[in-house]
Amino acid sequence: MSNALVIRPLTPNLSDDFKTVMGPSGACYGCWCTAFMMRPKVRQASTPDERRDLFLNIVAEGPPPGLILYRDGAPVGWMQIGPRALVPEWNNPRRSSTPLPDAPADDPGVWAITCFFLHTRHRGQGLSHALVAAGIDHARDNGARVLEASPMDQAKRSKSIGLFVGSTSVFEKAGFETVARQKPNRPLMRFTL
């Protein structure tokens, strides 16, 4: 398999590529990357088509809510990244990602990497490292002062769907540091830009 990688912000003209990455079911049980955008009861009551339409409306309105990874010209991966304020459920006080006082959720300079999705055959090949590196540049270029993540220390399987939040080791290798541990197995990590 080639390593020709291109990573682009998800803009409206790339919506079809995003749909290709998510597949017909919307990845992760029809989430369409709305888990941190909608209150749980509202999300559970919505259909996958409604979640897809909501997300595509967010893309249309901008700014880009994440990055698409292309391998040999084909869209194969996705990482959600942007200001914390755009993912209100990620800021919930009962989560491992609860904001700290020095990086409040309503500060436009505080950004977060909240989830990843890679086609199954592309998992376990280090592509999340490329996405995180591109995410750091993207956040810096768009005025972020802090980039945070709340990955998983360990998963039962290296290709587990539970790793949609990313692996702690990937963020450590990118230079993120643990700033809090509000839940076992899920540090809050930070990269200062």
Rounded to whole angstroms, the Cα distance separating 122 from 113 reads: 20
Rounded to whole angstroms, the Cα distance separating 143 from 100 reads: 19
pLDDT in tens, 88-98: 999 988 889 99
pLDDT band at 155 (very low <50, low <70, confident <90, very high): low
Rounded to whole angstroms, the Cα distance separating 40 from 123 reads: 27
Backbone dihedral region for residue 58 (phi beyond 0: left; psi -120 to 50: alpha; all else: beta) = alpha
Number of domains composing the chain: 1
**CATH code (residue 84):** 3.40.630.30
**Angle formed at CA 177 by CA 88 and CA 183, multiple of 5 degrees:** 55
pLDDT band at 19 (very low <50, low <70, confident <90, very high): very high
Look up the pTM and report it: 0.91
Q: Pick the most confident of 46-55, 138-147, 162-171.
A: 138-147
pLDDT in tens, 25-67: 877 777 888 888 888 888 888 888 898 999 999 999 999 999 9
> Domain residues for 118?
5-192
Rounded to whole angstroms, the Cα distance separating 124 from 182 reads: 27
For residue 163, pLDDT beyond 70: no
The alpha-helical segments, DSSP class H, found in the chain are 15-22, 40-45, 48-61, 127-141, 168-173
